Structure formats: C-alpha cells, structure tokens
Structure 1
Amino acid sequence: MDKKTQGSWLIHHTNKLQGVTNQAGYEKTFLAGKAGILLSAISANRGITVNNDRLMVLAQAANINTTFELPKLIDVLEQQKLVDKSAGGIAVLGVTTSTALERTSDIFESLSPRPQEAATISLAERASISPVLTKDVAEELGHSFSLIKSDLNQLFSDSETIGFVDTERLGTDETLLFNGNLFRRDTTQKIKAVLDSLKPAEQTALTELTETLRKRACVTTDYAVKILGEALFQKVTAVGLFDISVVSNSTEDVGFVTLPSAFSKYSSSMVDDAFDLAKAFVSSVTYGMTKSSWARGQIQMIDALLGALVRGESVGPVRAIAEDYKVLELKGVVEVKEGTKNGRTGPMLRLLKKEVGELALQAIRQGDVSEHSLSALPTAAVTTFDGPESNREKVRRVQTKVSPKATNDMLSILRKGGGL
C-alpha cells in the first residue's frame, strides 16, 4: 500500500474515531489522522506562514480542540519538520493536500503503532476492493500482523463498532465486510453484481439513474428517489453505490447524488478527495455559475475562472465572493480578501490549494461535472458541506451545525489579512 492510500485511510479512520466516546487502542491512528487533517487545513501550494488567529479558526473548522489537541498536533508536525513554530504563528514548509496524505502516513509510522492499528488499515483496503467474509480475511491478517485469534476477534469487533468497515450478518457465524469506498474503483463488475441481485424493475430503475449520472454527473436526491423509490434508494446508498453530498445555507439543506468514481478517470477518487475538498470546490463554484445573479457576480466562463485560479491569479472583485465560498475558506482551499482590480474594490478570491482546483477543472472540461449538471444547488450562499461518507452514515449519528454567527466570526478572522 502506498503512502497516499495509507494516509487517506488514516483520515477515514480518524473521522470514524471522532464519532465514538474514546479512542482507546487507536491513539496512534487518531493522532496521526488529526495531524493530517490539521496539515491539510493549513497547507497551500507554496510555503506559507499562518498567524495564530488564522490557525485557531482553521483548527476549529476542522473539529480540532484548540486547547487540548492543537498544541500537541503542532508539536508532532514540528517534530516531523513540517512546520516551524514561532510566537506569532507557524510556517508551513511546502506541504500540499496531496503530500499531506503522505506525511500523515509518515507520522503514523513514526509513532510505532500497534499491529492491530496497522491491521485495521489493511482490512479497510481489502474491504474496499470487494466484500469479504471475516473468516476469509482472518488468516491473511493474522499472518501479516502476527495476530492471534483473540486479537483478530477484537479487531473485527472494533472495526464494526467504530465504523472502520461496514458489516452485514449472513448467518450465525458469517459476517460480510465492506465499506463506503467500494464503488470508487473497478466499478463495472461491482455494479453488475448489484444489478444481478435486484428484481427486474429495480434493475431498470438503477440502470436509468446510473446512465443519467454518467451523462449529467449530478442529480438531486429528490430526483434519485423519484426514479428508484425510497426503499431501493436507501439500500444502494447505504452500501456506497452512490455518493450523497449535502450543501447547506441559512434556509435549507439540499442533497445531490454523484457516482463515487466521478474523479477516478484522473486518479484515485479516494486518495485525491480524502478531505472532500474537490466535491466542496465543485459544489461552491457551480453554485456561482448556476444560481448567483449577474448583479452579485454570476460566473459566466467557468473554464476561464478556474484557469485563472489555478495559475495563481486573484479573481474579482464581486460581492458574491464574500458569500459563496465560505466552506472553501474554512477548509483552507481559498482565501478571500478585499482588493482592487480594474478600478473596482471589493472581495477578491485566491486559490490556496492548486491541485484541488486542477481536479475540478479537469472534471468540468472532461464532462464528469458539466455546467448544466449541478443546477440543483441552494438558492442562497453555501455555508456548510457534508461529504459523501458522513451522509452515508447519517442514520448512525446526528450532525451538529455551526451557527451562522459563529461561521461569520471565523470568516472575519480569516479575512482580516496577515498570515499568508
């Protein structure tokens, strides 16, 4: 397993661990994953300095406790020579979103994790290739990580309870393992297997939705439910056959459906969108393209806009920039600041994570995400984004929303200047 893949699984596992009351037995996984999440939030496509105010906001937005967790995470990153700490903030030493995953893997290895922790990563990878019975993977894991039967039993129990993998009981002594990344690669045979298990009417409906998504890239969840029916929709989304993302604003939450392999023609979807940055970027930009009025700064030429951002240019000034990209600001993908261009003054937008913009630009140019396909976005500014995995498991826990005032206070700090 390469470092990027291991790093992405560490982020996946850490997000799962945040949903349980304690991380006993998986402290190294949690620490490495949290360090990777912080590193992604503060990194850019060039070396930058992040002042303390900006650091606090980005950490809070990444669900990092700034009193207890942040100091420890900074120490870990400094030990790895990824940041330099000073009284005023930290200097990030040339880490990109892509290399953040590799560095997450390095941090994990440096912590000398227990064999069981390393085994959960191998198990998740195996369950993402194809569903597998516990009895069929137990011998392989036991041999690779020197685990005895009691260790393996605990490993499978923890993986199910925490959510490292999903499980389906097939009998008293048979459990099938899979996870939400199952349909991100080698999808043709897997989709065929799902189709073969359905009734003829269900097969027809599922084929119709899949073909629609291949042509249009994205449809609303309401549209998908209308085609599939509620029962089939719940069944196929629970196993990860489709990705559901939710973009939110002050008035509504709107879900839309994409194929998990939407970006896989360029690279590994799981690796490149481990932090849900690409989908958040496309969602926010497409809102400006399809919903924002001309007076607010409607995007007329998406290719030209993304091209300018990827080249490192600032775009604007238009009023919409201050409203439509809040999610991307809090994820450290873009920077919004007051600026002047062509005699006009107002909010300007600059891309901090070049590779995220490149992925979105490729997708739009190649047709996976087209200008007409993401028209069903909110009619107000997008302020939060829930990625596919969190939506797939929403039946297990309720998401806590950040109040609009808290969001605006955080954005105010990011826009004050300094730190970049």
Structure 2
Amino acid sequence: MSHPEVHGVVVLARNGDRAEAWQDPVSYKTGSTTSTPLGEVQSHQLGAFLRKTYLDSSSSSHIRGIATDLVDLKEVHVRVKVGGEGSSVFDSATAVLQGLFPPNEKNRMTLANETTVVAPLGGYQYIPVETVEPVNDRSLEPWTDCPAFQERVKKIHASEDFKKKNQDAQKFFHTLKDFVFGRPTTLENMYNLYDYVSSELVHNKTYAHRLPPTYIEQARGLADWRENAIFGDSQMNGLGNIASRAALSSILKALQRIAFDDDPLQFMLIETTYQPFISLFHQTQMVKRHPELKAIPDYGSALAIELRRAPPPDAREFLRFKFRNGTNSDFDTVHVFDHHEDIPLTEFIYRLENSVINSNAEWARACRASSATSWFGLSQGEDGRATGTFMDMVLGMGLFFLVMLLAWSGSKAVQRYRRRAHIRLPNEEAPIAEVVNYGSNEKSRFTHSF
C-alpha cells in the first residue's frame, strides 16, 4: 500500500538559548536580550535535523520535488518575529537556515570573462527572511499593547486558583530569595524568576555550583503553570489563545499555497518565541491527549505541520503534526481535535477559520483596542479608517508633503537618489501591507493581510 507523500511543511520554531530577558508580568513587554553561541548551535542543530528529515531523499518524510542542494527561493519562505526578544529570534532563524541549507560549492557562477566565482564561506547560501514587527504587523506578537489581554492577565492573578497556587509556593519563594538577588519572588513574576535561574544555571559556573537540587525543577513547574494559564484557553476563539489565533493566519495561508499545485511554496519557517506554542496546543485541543504540552517549550523546539497527499484515487490533502521539544529528541507525532490519525486539511481549516485573526483591524477588535498601528505614524480604527493624535496627524501630513515635494521637484539629483534608495518589491502596484515575496502572484487570495 502506498503512503501519503509529503508535499510541504510549515515549521513553527522557538528561538535558541539567549541571555536573560525580563518581561513585564502584565503587559508582557520584553527587555533587550542577545542570543548566545549555545543558542545559535541549538538552532543550527534544528536546521540540520529539519534538513535530514525533509530534504534527504532517503527519509520517509522527504518533501517531494523540493530543491535540496541549492535553495530555490520560490520554494522557501521565512517569517521572523522581531518584537520582544527580537535579536535572539532573528539570529536563531539565521542559524536554522544555515543548518537547513549549508554552504555548497555549487553556489557559484561563471562571469563573462570565464572567471568562476564561488559564494563566500565555501558557497554560503543567503536566504532572505520576512521580519515581522508588531508596529505594523500583529501576527507574531498580538499579546502586547492589547488592553483586553492585560485585563485577562489581571483577572487570572486575582483568581482563587492563582491565589492558592501562590500560597502553596510561599515556602519555595522564601528559600529562593537568596538566589534571585532582589527580584520579586511572587507567582506573578514567576516567568522572570525561572528565566533568571535557568539562564544563570547554564551560563554561570559559580551559580550552578551553589543552586540547591530541585530548585530549577520547582521554578520550571511554577512558570509552566502560570504561562499555561495565561496563554491557554478552553475556548477556541478565547483571548488566551490570541498568540496562535494570529499566527494561524500565516500557517493556514501557507498550507493552502502548498496544496495548490501551481504555487511553488513547499517549506515555510516561522521563527518565534514560546507563546504561540502554548496557545496552539490549546486551540487545536492537543493538550487533551498530550497534557505534557501544557508547558513552556525548550529552546530550539519545533512544531512541524506536514501536508501529505494521499495516493490516487483519493488524492486528498491531510495534515500530520510533529513536535520536538528542544534539541535532544526526535519528532513525536501529536494529534489535533481528538483525531487518532492525520486530519484532512479541509477539516482543519473549517474548524479554525472563525477563530483566526487575519488582520490588524480584527486584532484591534479582539483586544478592544481603540486603534491599530498603521503606516506613517497614523492609526487605523476598527472600521479601517485613519485615526490618531494631533501629533500623529502632523507627522503624517509632514511626510505626505515631503513625498509630494520630492515628486514635484523632478530634479535629476532627486531622481538619482530615488533610484539608489528604492527597492522594488513584487506586485508593487498592490498596497504595501499586502505584498509578500513569494515569487508568485497567481494566487493573490493567499497573500498576507497584515
């Protein structure tokens, strides 16, 4: 009996190890941080693992027809969250791509004078990425600047379950004080406590020798409990699932593109932080059969969503979900919506489509925000019309008149400057927010609406 072929994969990956990153317990605004060599190694290992799984022709999960030695940029697309923890997430994406498409001496060209030039570092492959900034695209960081989400966090902190958990942890918090050096030892601040302890345990030899046994496990358990409460929701379209509800916009559109034979896309990487994993595990009901997923995924974790096509005469598309927690394990197959096997693509979309957040305007409505950030420093209300403060309008009008002045002047100096500064994008006649560098404009309905 023939087995379904893998036609493409969407991979949700968490960044690798980084320096401590404090985040506000209510707004979830994150301080600055940097990736570490360990984190880059973890992400590179993930890329090499994905290459072995999906690009090796001897693998049972090999993607049918995908270019393996030299990357075909029409077949691969990468989206990277560059809001909170942005630099470490971006570095992690770069390292994943280095492992996925390592240097290859075939990455060369012959010039007109018959000189052969090999790309630097033995044929390094430069793969462009789409950076996703929350200032104009909420798809990979919808939980910040969200009034309704902050209200949810405060309600959880005030709940009886939270108060009981906090009370039960008082003995641990008392003993932990000597190891967190002035940081508030409360359940509200638990993620930051765990982040500090785990970071020092890995990077600080003196600290690692002093930390008593079980402290990291207790800190991890409390942090898992809190983040699961914040980013998990029993209602599919609940605010607790906002992280995955927004990320699914990119995921579903990529899966539809992969399923469309005339679209070249076959591999999509979404590099992000831990929050969308927890929400997606709840939103798709994976946690019912896999309660161990009610936790913060380790650095370098990945969730792969494989699109598999059954052999004729069926020829339907099915999805298989595989999760890898950290870098020291293989993929484990996990199931969504109480399925005991692969789920049809059509059913998966049908179940989720009414809960997905597809635009900044939808995000603003879900967050009960008065506006959604748009271009030129103005704002976009729920009805899509521009709104904003007086200074926003002044800045916007100033930029408008500056552009008009440059266009009117028509001087050769200005024209030369514009030619140097302008980067042409695919489908440039379309609104900027809808342009996606996919190398195909035949399926505009699959472009991003953020």
Same fold (TM over 0.5): no
**Which structure shows the bigger proportion of residues in helix conformation?**
1
Q: Which has the larger radius of gyration?
A: 2
Q: TM-score, normalised by structure 2?
A: 0.30
Q: TM-score, normalised by structure 1?
A: 0.32
